[in-house]
Amino acid sequence: MVKEKRMGKTGNAKMKLITHNMLTSNIIKSVTNGYPLKIVPKQVEVKTVDFNPEFITRMLPKIDWPALYQAAQSVGHGDGLPETLKENYEEDEALLQSVHHVLMQVEVIEGNLVCPESGREFPISSGIPNMLLNEDEV
């Protein structure tokens, strides 16, 4: 289910794919390769956020592109994204718009994040990923 909403100044921030790109389950003591977490979405929303090409251009070198591409595909918003990021991306307005869309506008409201190594699921509820561990995982 995809909803379109305009985010106002007081809008609640939900889990965006920019956040997902930085999350890992390496916090679990037995996990050595907990990145990238797989997204199993149940509810995804698209919010309108003003396009800022300078921000996107500055963020792209910090983004793990394969992880972003995989995440965008898994939530049904990978159209327009190339499998690999080309050089001179700063000059491609259409690409920057597509990246802006997946990084800033797509929000996972309900679902799970799944560790690629252990299969451990972390629930996403009301747009907030719960990465808390059980005592035996610390």
Residue 23, domain member (yes or no):
yes
pLDDT average, residue stretch 83-107: 96
**Residue 12, pLDDT score:** 55
Residue 15, domain member (yes or no):
yes
Residue 13, domain member (yes or no):
yes
Contact 106, 16 (CB under 8 A): yes
- The total domain count for the chain is 1
Contact 23, 136 (CB under 8 A): no
Residue 127, domain member (yes or no):
no
CATH number at residue 68: 2.20.25.10
Average pLDDT, the chain: 89
42 sits in which H/E element: strand 38-48
Residue 137, domain member (yes or no):
no
For 1-57, the pLDDT digits (tens) are 444 333 333 345 589 999 999 999 877 788 889 999 999 999 999 999 999 999 999
Residue 133, domain member (yes or no):
no
Residue 28, domain member (yes or no):
yes
pTM: 0.86
Domain limits for position 92: 2-118
